[in-house]
Every structure is written in structure tokens, then in C-alpha cells.
Structure 1
Amino acid sequence: METSAFAFEKTLKNKTKKDILADKLVGMILDGLLRDGDVMPSERDLAQLFGVSRETVRGAMSLVSGYGLISVSHGAKTRVCASDKALEAYRRQHGFDEGHAVNRHDVDSVFESRIVVEAAIARKAAMNIDDDGLMRLERLLEAQAAMFDSPVPFQLSDQNFHKLISEYAHNEILAGYSEELYAYGLNVRRQVMIEPGAIERSYREHCHILEALQRRDPDAAERAMLAHLDSVYRTTRAKLGQDQGQ
């Protein structure tokens, strides 16, 4: 059985895993999940996170480097190049509209939508998830337990955690909405994640979600997901309030 992060992707004939991973990394940069100056995780960590070979990671990184969005050099750490100038040049070259559509909505509307979508996803995932899916989630959480002081790797893993659960809802429309809504305010979430205890709190909430999925209990899975979203909403709202008060 295919176990990579691409297992549920509909790959176009002219798109390789390298191309898809490059698109994912670019999307993370445009959405603010990866920010200017961030040190990219190692090839090994990215390969493990996305379930692909290191060769695929190298190819994807080369593509993104060619777009001018990361700096790759021998003997130095690979860093994200997401200055306003670099982002503007990429968007102009590739015909992107400025900003992400979801980020133009207010925080309350976005999280009201996430509650509806991800509650449904959690319920369906609890009924559909198989042993392979549970094992993949367990591996993600094992890695997250060592990321309490590493916001960038944790957020990449966090995105994969939510995406994997959405895949087991077996509903492409719900999964698509979930991915779009997740992108809201990622720059704010980065600020939240550097606060003491924030990553560990999210990790513990993820553990509760996994426990409910392991029991194949739709009600418990929904409750655990809603508790997690409430925590994400409250901390995002508080950070936005702090920033606006400055």
C-alpha cells in the first residue's frame, strides 16, 4: 500500500513527485508557514515528513531554489528567501494574485468554517481510518514530541497531521476546504508557536485526537478535534489582539 504523503493526490501525467513537493513547499512559503530567513529542515527530515526519497527532496529543493524562494549552498544551511521583493518577483513571474484568499477573511468566519468542516472530517476519519493511517499518525506524533523547541518543523508536521486525517474522511471536497482554511493566518500561528508551552499544548491535543481515532469513536474524535480548534482559535485571537494593540 502507498504510504507517502502523496497517496491520495491525483497526480497529473506531467507532474512528478518532485514537482508536487516543490509546489507544496512554494505554497508553504506563500502562505507564511515558511518565512524569510527560516532554516529549512534537513533532506532526511523532509523525506521522512513527506514520505518520499531524499532524491525527490533534492529535486524539489532545486526547483524552489530556481524560483528564488530558497537559498541552497554547499556547507551552509538552506534558508527560505521570502522577502517582499522575492515574493513579488515570484508572483509576477507565475501570475499569482497578491495574498491568499482565505487570509482576506476575518478570524471568526474562518474558524466557524473550520469547526463545521473539521468536525465532519474527524467523524468520518474515525469510521474510515485503517491501521496504516493510524501508524502514520503515530509516527508524526513521535516526531512532534521532539519538536517542542522547533516551530518550523512542528508546523510542517502539524499541517501533515491535519491533512492526513482529512484524507481518511474520503471526501475530496471536505479535504480541499480543510487545506484552504488551514492556510489562514499562518504568519500569526508562527508567532503563537514560539511562545513557551505552545507547541507542547498542540502536541497534547493531537494525542487526544489520535486516541479517539484509535478507538474508531466518531463522537470522541469530533470532541477532541473541536477542543483543539478552540485552543487554536483562542490563541490566534489573543495574538491578533496583541498585534493590533501595538
Structure 2
Amino acid sequence: MKHDPHASPDRITRRKLSDQVFDRLRDMMASGELPPGAAVPSERDLMERFGVGRPAVREALQHMHTMGLITISHGERSRVNELSANSVLARVDDVARMLLSSEPEQLEHLKQARRMFECGLVRVAAEKAIAQDVRDLRELVGEQRARIGDAEAFVTADMAFHTRIAQISANPILMASSQAMLRWLFEYHGGLLHWSGNEKVTLQEHDEIVDLIAARDADSAVRAMQAHLDRSNPLYHHPAV
């Protein structure tokens, strides 16, 4: 559509009825009128309340379902979902994987973002960790050590270690973002560590990171994490490479 330079800035643009129904329902959720777990009013009730036809209501509800705001179950009333940082980021998993598959250069951008992110997380961990956090991290390194020879289990344990560092922040957005990045990278990690011969080096680096967190040496913990990721990042590569 060509822009009309003479058009009034106050001109009202007509919007689809379904978009307006969507906005009304979203406002009802935000205000608490429709809290998490609540049943969404029936299509007939919504038609009467908003003065619109069934197609507009159904399109709005389907849009909400696609966005993860509600769950539509056959034969049952739709219900409002409880939103969290994890659930929101999980909705983009498939799109993120498609992006990484179709544009391999995006993987380098993801690794760069993760490096910056993890270094920030380990600094917070070194500043906030309590004795139980350190014990959990040491236990996770021990579990990872026991997984040498099983590539998938070793990588899963690796993810658990980094996830536990993120949990020390007690920030749900940081935790969810960390887990999302790890999920997306896992797509390209596969069994590479099994034959790469880097398992023992990885474990030594994890031990060092835990020691520095325990010592509350934030600057050294950041440097150790940087070195760890700089060494391990080349192991994450596009399958076509």
C-alpha cells in the first residue's frame, strides 16, 4: 500500500473484528477478569457480549491459542494458560531452529550472544551463590563425569550444569533465556563431544568455574567462563559444515 502524504494523521483505520475481540479478551486476562486456569466464555457468550459474529470470535480464539494464551481442547471449554518466561520462549523454539537451519550464520550470532550472557550469569553466581548452590554444581560435574562415553547424556549433563548456574540468579527471565539458548545450540551439538576427546577438558573447566564461584572471585569466574566457551564454541557447528 502506497503512503498518502496528504492523509490526515488523525484518520481512523478500520480494524478486523477478530482483532478487536482479541484485544478485549487480552484486556480481560490482564485485568484478572480471566485469570490463569479460568474457562474462557463460550463462543455464544462472547458473540453477545461484543456484538459480533461467530467467525470473528473463532478467529480471535484461534489466534490466542496459537500465541499460547489459551488452550483449546476438543469437546471442552477453552482455558486461560498461565504464562511464564519459560512458556513464552518455548513458543519460539521451532522458529529458532528453522532460522538456524536456513541461515547458518545465525548460529555464530547465537554463540556470541550466549558467551556474553553466560559471562554475566557466572558473575552473578559468584556474587550470590550460597553453599547449597556450590554443592549442587559440584554434584552436577560429578554426574557429567560419570556420563563420559555416552555423548547425549554428557551433553544433557553439560546443559544441566549451565542451567544451574543461571538458577543462582533467581531471575526467571535470565533462567528461561539461558535454557532457550542451550536448547537451540543442542540441535547442532549432537554426539560431537563423544569423539572430540574434549570431555576431560570440559570437566576440568567446569571444576575451575565452580571453585571460583565458591571463592566469590567474580572476575576470575568470568575469565574462566570466557575461556571455556571460546574453546567449546567451535564444537557447535551447523550439520552441513
How does the TM-score come out when normalised to structure 2? Answer: 0.55
2:93/2:184 contact within 8 Å kept: no
Counterpart residue number, 2:222 = 222
1:126/1:212 contact within 8 Å kept: yes
Counterpart residue number, 2:185 = 185
1:102/1:181 contact within 8 Å kept: no
Range moving further from structure 2, 123-132 or 109-118: 109-118
Q: Give the Cα–Cα distance (whole angstroms) in 2 for the partners of residues 231 and 184 of structure 1.
A: 19
The answer on 1:109 being equivalent to 2:104 is no
SS of aligned partner of 1:159: helix
| 1:150 CA displacement | 1.5
Bigger radius of gyration among the two? 2
Q: Give the Cα–Cα distance (whole angstroms) in 2 for the partners of residues 165 and 98 of structure 1.
A: 22
Counterpart residue number, 2:123 = 123
**Matched residue type, 1:154:** F
Q: Which runs of 4+ in 1 moved over 6 A?
A: none
1:103/1:185 contact within 8 Å kept: no
**Matched residue type, 1:143:** E
Counterpart residue number, 1:150 = 150
Q: Give the Cα–Cα distance (whole angstroms) in 1 for the partners of residues 94 and 128 of structure 2.
A: 35
Structure 2: where are the runs of 5+ without partners? 1-35, 38-90, 101-105
Counterpart residue number, 1:99 = 94
Q: Give the Cα–Cα distance (whole angstroms) in 1 for the partners of residues 130 and 235 of structure 2.
A: 32
1:102/1:183 contact within 8 Å kept: no
- Give CA-to-partner distance per residue, 1:129-170, whole Å, 9 cap, x none: 100111111111122222221122222221111111101123
| 1:102 CA displacement | 5.2
Structure 1: where are the runs of 5+ without partners? 1-12, 15-95
| 1:100 CA displacement | 4.7
Are residues 235 and 156 of structure 1, via their aligned partners in 2, closer, same or farther at CA, if it must alter by over 3 Å? closer
Q: Give the Cα–Cα distance (whole angstroms) in 1 for the partners of residues 229 and 92 of structure 2.
A: 29
Are residues 181 and 102 of structure 1, via their aligned partners in 2, closer, same or farther at CA, if it must alter by over 3 Å? farther
Q: Give the Cα–Cα distance (whole angstroms) in 2 for the partners of residues 177 and 98 of structure 1.
A: 11
| 1:126 CA displacement | 0.4
**Matched residue type, 2:222:** E
The answer on 1:212 being equivalent to 2:212 is yes
Are residues 130 and 103 of structure 1, via their aligned partners in 2, closer, same or farther at CA, if it must alter by over 3 Å? farther
Q: Give the Cα–Cα distance (whole angstroms) in 1 for the partners of residues 116 and 207 of structure 2.
A: 21
How does the TM-score come out when normalised to structure 1? Answer: 0.54
Alignment coverage as a number of residue pairs:
149
| 1:98 CA displacement | 8.2
1:102/1:180 contact within 8 Å kept: no
The answer on 1:244 being equivalent to 2:240 is yes
Range moving further from structure 2, 206-215 or 147-156: 147-156
Q: Give the Cα–Cα distance (whole angstroms) in 1 for the partners of residues 190 and 169 of structure 2.
A: 27
| Higher RCO (C-alpha 8 Å, min separation 6) | 1
Are residues 119 and 97 of structure 1, via their aligned partners in 2, closer, same or farther at CA, if it must alter by over 3 Å? closer
1:102/1:110 contact within 8 Å kept: no
The answer on 1:203 being equivalent to 2:217 is no
